Structure 1
Amino acid sequence: MVSKFLRVSWRTVGAIISRVVVRKLDGLGDRLDGLKHIGIDELSYRRHHEYVTVVVDHEHGVVVWSSRGKSAATLRRFFEDLGEERCAALESVTIDLSRAYIAAVTEAVPHARLIFDRFHVQRLVQDALDETRRAEVRAAETEDGKRALKGTRYALLKSPWNLTDAVHQTLAELEQANQTIFRGHMLKESFAAILGGR
C-alpha cells in the first residue's frame, strides 16, 4: 500500500525503513543491557499466516528484540542473544499462555517470576463460566428453563460498568433461577477485579 501510494518500489520503502530504524536506534546502546522485567508476545502479519516474536522492556516501554516465528526455538534465540549473565538479572517475564513460550522461559530463566497476560487468563475464566452455563442449560428439566438460561450468555459476559437496566434485570432473575451460574458470574467479576480489570 505504501509503495503504491508513494509510487516507489517496495525495495525503496524497505531501504527507507532500514535507515530510519538505524537512526532511531543510534545512541541507545545495547538494548539488551539492564533488562529486569520483559514482556513477550507474537504479532501476526500476512493475513495471520506469518508471525514475529517480540520482546519488550517493561520498564522503558521499548521493543528490545524481535525475530520471525513464534516457537520455543525462536524465543530460545533471544535468551542466547541475552547471554547467561543478563538472563540471571531478569526478575519477571510476562507472556501469554503459549506452551512454546512457557517452555522456553522456564528452561532459560527458571528463577524469573512468570506472569501470564491478564487478558488471556480472563478469557479462561469467561470460557469456564460459559461452559458452566451450557451445562446448566443441558441439565434444565423444562424447555422454559432451558430458554431462560440460554438468554443469559450476553448478560454474563458484559462488563459491570456497561450494564443496561435490561441486563441488570436478567442478572437479578438469574440469581433466583440458577445459583450455580450466578455464583460463577460473581467469581468471574471477583477475578476480574483482582486482575485489575475493574
Structure 2
Amino acid sequence: MRLQVILNALERHGSFVYESAAWADSSKEGLLVRVRPRRRSRPICSGCGNRGGTYDHLPERRFQHVPLWGLAVWFVYAARRVACPVCGVKVERLPWASGKERTTSSFQWFLSRWAKRLSWRETAEIFGTSWHTVFRAVKMAVCWGIRHRELEGIEAIGIDEVAYRKGHQYFTLVYQIDRGSRRLLWVGQDRTKETLGRFFRFFGRRRTERLKYICSDMWKAYLSVIAREANGALHILDRFHIMQLFNKAIDKVRAQEARELKRKGFEVLKRTRWLLLKRRGNLKVSVATVACGGSRSR
C-alpha cells in the first residue's frame, strides 16, 4: 500500500492531491510528500474565506507531519496567492496548517497529547522538533479547548494555589471536581481576593448559584470570597489543613500543660505526643499502658 493511499484514508483534503512520496535527499530527513492543488480548483483567501483566482505561487515550503514508523514526514507544497476581490492579493488558506505554522495541525495535536505525558523537552527530542514547536502545539490545544469548553451543569469545584516561583509567587487554580468529570477550569495570577473574584465574574452569577459544593484550603482570601459569592454552596475545607491546625493546637496545649504541671511539682510525661495523635488500634502496648494510667516501660 502506497503512503498516498494511507494519507488519503486518514487525512483527505478535497481540493488537494498527494502527488508523490519519496525519500528526502538524506534518509535521516525522512519522507517528503509532495502536495499539489486539484485541477481547476480555486484557492481560498486566508483573509475572508472566499475563493478567488490564482495570482502567483510562493516558493515551496515544508510542513512537518505526524511521523510514520519512526520516520519524519514532511508535506511539501508551493502555496498559491489569491487574487481576492475583497482582500486583494492574499496567501491561500491551507487545510492542513494554520497561519505561518511549519507543522501540520495533525502533528500539533499529536505533540500536545504526548506533552501531557512527557516534558516538553523530551517530547521535542523524541519526535525530532523544537521545544518552541511543542509549546505552540500545547498553546493551540489549550486555546481550542477554551473556545469549545462547556461550563453548564457544573455542581462541584475545587480551589487551590500552586507556587510557580520563589518568593511567594502563586497561581490560583479552579477545577471542576464532579463525579466523572474532573478538569481544570481557570487559572489566575496570585492568590488574592481580587484573583478569585475574577473567577466568579468569569463563571457568572447563574452558574455560581447552581454550585452545590466548593472545596478549598483555609486561605483567608479564599474563605471570604467564597462566603460572599457562593454562600448557597456547601464549603468543604480540605482535611490536610484542618489536621495541620489540630496538630499545632495539640502541641501548644501540651506545652502549656507541661509547664503548668512542672510548676506545680508534678512529674511531666515526656515522649507521649503520639498518644493523642495515633489511632487507638495503632498504639503500642507501652504507650497504651500510659494511657490507662500504668507505668511506662523503658
Which is richer in helix? 1
Task: Judge which range, 87-96 or 47-56, deviates more.
Answer: 47-56
Task: Give the counterpart of 1:39 among 151, 158, 178.
Answer: 158
User: Percent of aligned pairs with the same residue?
Assistant: 27
- Amino acid in the other structure paired with 2:160: D
Indicate how the Cα distance of structure 1 residues 94 and 132 shifts in structure 2: closer, same or farther if over 3 A, else same: same
Name which one, 1 or 2, has greater alpha-carbon Rg. 2
The two structures have a TM-score, normalised by structure 2, of 0.48
The two structures have a TM-score, normalised by structure 1, of 0.70
| 1:101 maps to 2:222 | yes
Q: Which residue number corresponds to residue 54 of structure 1?
A: 173
Q: Larger relative CO (CA 8 A, sep 6+): 1 or 2?
A: 1
Indicate how the Cα distance of structure 1 residues 80 and 151 shifts in structure 2: closer, same or farther if over 3 A, else same: same
Q: Which residue number corresponds to residue 272 of structure 2?
A: 152
Give the whole-Å Cα distance in 1 for the aligned partners of 2:140 and 2:158.
23
Give the whole-Å Cα distance in 2 for the aligned partners of 1:120 and 1:15.
40
Q: Note the 1:128-167 alignment, pairs <5 A.
A: 128-141=249-262, 145-146=267-268, 148=269, 150-158=270-278, 163=282, 165=284
- Amino acid in the other structure paired with 1:152: T
User: Gaps (5+ residues) in structure 1?
Assistant: 178-198
Indicate how the Cα distance of structure 1 residues 108 and 164 shifts in structure 2: closer, same or farther if over 3 A, else same: closer
Q: Is the 8 A contact 1:41 1:96 kept in 2?
A: yes
Q: State the number of aligned residues.
A: 168
Task: Give the counterpart of 1:73 among 186, 194, 216.
Answer: 194
- Amino acid in the other structure paired with 1:95: S
Shift of 1:77: 0.5
Indicate how the Cα distance of structure 1 residues 15 and 137 shifts in structure 2: closer, same or farther if over 3 A, else same: farther
- Amino acid in the other structure paired with 1:65: W
User: Gaps (5+ residues) in structure 2?
Assistant: 1-118
- Amino acid in the other structure paired with 1:145: E
Shift of 1:40: 0.3
Give the whole-Å Cα distance in 2 for the aligned partners of 1:115 and 1:139.
37
Q: Which residue number corresponds to residue 15 of structure 2?
A: none
Shift of 1:144: 7.6
Residues 27-60 of structure 1, C-alpha deviations (whole Å, 9 max, x = no match): 6832533221001010112236310101111111
| 1:125 maps to 2:246 | yes
- Amino acid in the other structure paired with 1:41: D
Give the whole-Å Cα distance in 2 for the aligned partners of 1:98 and 1:174.
36
Indicate how the Cα distance of structure 1 residues 125 and 102 shifts in structure 2: closer, same or farther if over 3 A, else same: same
| 1:87 maps to 2:208 | yes
Shift of 1:21: 4.9
Indicate how the Cα distance of structure 1 residues 26 and 131 shifts in structure 2: closer, same or farther if over 3 A, else same: same
Instruction: Supply the RMSD in Å over aligned alpha carbons.
Output: 3.2
Q: Is the 8 A contact 2:120 2:134 kept in 1?
A: no
Q: Is the 8 A contact 2:214 2:236 kept in 1?
A: yes
- Amino acid in the other structure paired with 2:165: R
Task: Judge which range, 82-91 or 120-129, deviates more.
Answer: 120-129
